[in-house]
């Protein structure tokens, strides 16, 4: 049932051992802003991005395998945290602008930034797991929406179309292209299936900084025009809704939900613009893109 999610009880933030390379904000919560944003990565930076993105994909696969009715989102956070540490990485969300956990878990009508707590997942829920790993001085970011047990037909269609929307956006990416075309492709596919596209949250450049230029909107906005160049790395992460696409944020300052309490889904990949097209850096084990 939609509209049933409410804040639960949080456990203390998890600790990261010594010897793990940590981002600038790990202690203060405030990311250090670079003097200059480097849009195009060097070959060395791209190699390091591959390491971080491979790790993020592996962690997401491990956490996703644990999704089942009865498990709490806090238990999923623990799995994410431990898996990231085992790979030598830092869970990027932890203390980023004060975020208290190592994973984002967004259930049913939660659009994004849901905070793991003591609520157990229920049969029929859907849950987005958003994993970001800081490794080799780079962030790799990916997310996926999972069914919990048996879900209704509308939720299953929402999840499928959202995945297709992400790939529709990815397929527009090429050097010399326009980043606004990503949103055009996503909005066209979503609305053709009767779904809405959230406007409040965007994809983003990523690398040595968790969030940087360029912004990647998931609906068509001609003012978002920006030339795509080889060596850019950014996320494409559409949030698609069954009903109203408008969002509101809980008092915790993080959890964004649909205003009508209806369900929403999200998928996310980090991509690299190559000299000839696009490479998905966070491709999951055995993941096969949908047909065009």
CA-nearest of 151, 106, 140, 77 to 5 is 106
Within-domain flag for 96: yes
pLDDT the model gives residue 234: 98
Model confidence pTM above 0.85:
yes
Within-domain flag for 4: no
Burial of 183 (0-12, 13-18, 19+ CB in 10 A): buried
Residues in the chain: 292
pLDDT the model gives residue 1: 38
pLDDT the model gives residue 292: 60
62 CB-near residues (< 8 Å, 6+ apart): 79, 80, 83
Within-domain flag for 88: yes
State how far the alpha carbon of 25 is from the alpha carbons of 2, 19, 93, in Å. 35, 16, 10
In the chain, what percentage of residues exceed pLDDT 90? 93
Domain around 224: 43-280
The chain-wide mean pLDDT, for the chain, equals 96
pLDDT the model gives residue 4: 82
Domain count, the chain: 1
- Checking if the pLDDT of 2 tops 60, the result is no
pLDDT the model gives residue 258: 97
Residue 106: CATH number of its domain: 3.90.230.10
Mean pLDDT across 79-102: 98
pLDDT the model gives residue 146: 98
pLDDT in tens, 223-272: 999 999 999 999 999 999 999 999 999 999 999 999 999 999 999 999 99
Mean pLDDT across 158-178: 98
Mean pLDDT across 67-96: 98
- Checking if the pLDDT of 167 tops 60, the result is yes
Within-domain flag for 76: yes
Within-domain flag for 21: no
H helix intervals, the chain: 43-64, 73-86, 153-170, 180-192
pLDDT the model gives residue 36: 84
Within-domain flag for 35: no
pLDDT in tens, 100-140: 999 999 999 999 999 999 999 999 999 999 999 999 999 99
Within-domain flag for 292: no
Within-domain flag for 269: yes
């Amino acid at each position: 049932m939609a509209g049933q999610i409410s804040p639960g009880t949080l456990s203390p933030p998890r600790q990261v051992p010594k010897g793990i390379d940590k981002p600038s904000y790990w202690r203060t919560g405030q990311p250090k802003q670079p003097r200059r944003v480097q849009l195009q990565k060097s070959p060395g930076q791209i190699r390091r991005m591959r390491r971080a993105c491979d790790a993020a994909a592996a962690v997401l696969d491990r956490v996703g395998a644990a999704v089942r009715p009865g498990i709490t989102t806090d238990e999923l956070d623990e799995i994410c945290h431990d898996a990231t540490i085992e790979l030598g990485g830092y869970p990027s969300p932890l203390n980023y602008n004060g975020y208290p956990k190592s994973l984002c878990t967004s259930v049913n009508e939660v659009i994004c930034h849901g905070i793991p707590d003591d609520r157990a997942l229920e049969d029929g829920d859907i849950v987005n797991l958003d994993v970001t790993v800081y490794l080799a001085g780079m962030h790799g970011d990916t997310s996926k929406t999972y069914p919990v047990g048996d879900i209704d037909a509308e939720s299953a269609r929402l999840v499928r179309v959202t995945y297709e929307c992400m790939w529709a956006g990815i397929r527009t990416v090429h050097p010399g292209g326009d980043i606004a075309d990503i949103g055009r492709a996503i909005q066209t596919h979503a609305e053709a299936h009767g779904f809405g596209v959230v406007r409040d949250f965007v994809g983003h450049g990523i690398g040595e900084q968790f969030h940087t230029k360029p912004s990647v909107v998931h609906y068509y906005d001609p003012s978002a025009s920006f030339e795509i160049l080889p060596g850019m790395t950014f996320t494409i992460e559409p949030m698609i809704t069954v009903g109203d696409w408008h969002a509101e944020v809980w008092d915790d300052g993080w959890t964004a939900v649909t205003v009508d309490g209806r369900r929403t889904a999200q998928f996310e990949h980090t991509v690299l613009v190559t000299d000839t097209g696009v490479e998905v850096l966070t491709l999951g084990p055995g993941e096969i893109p949908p047909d065009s």
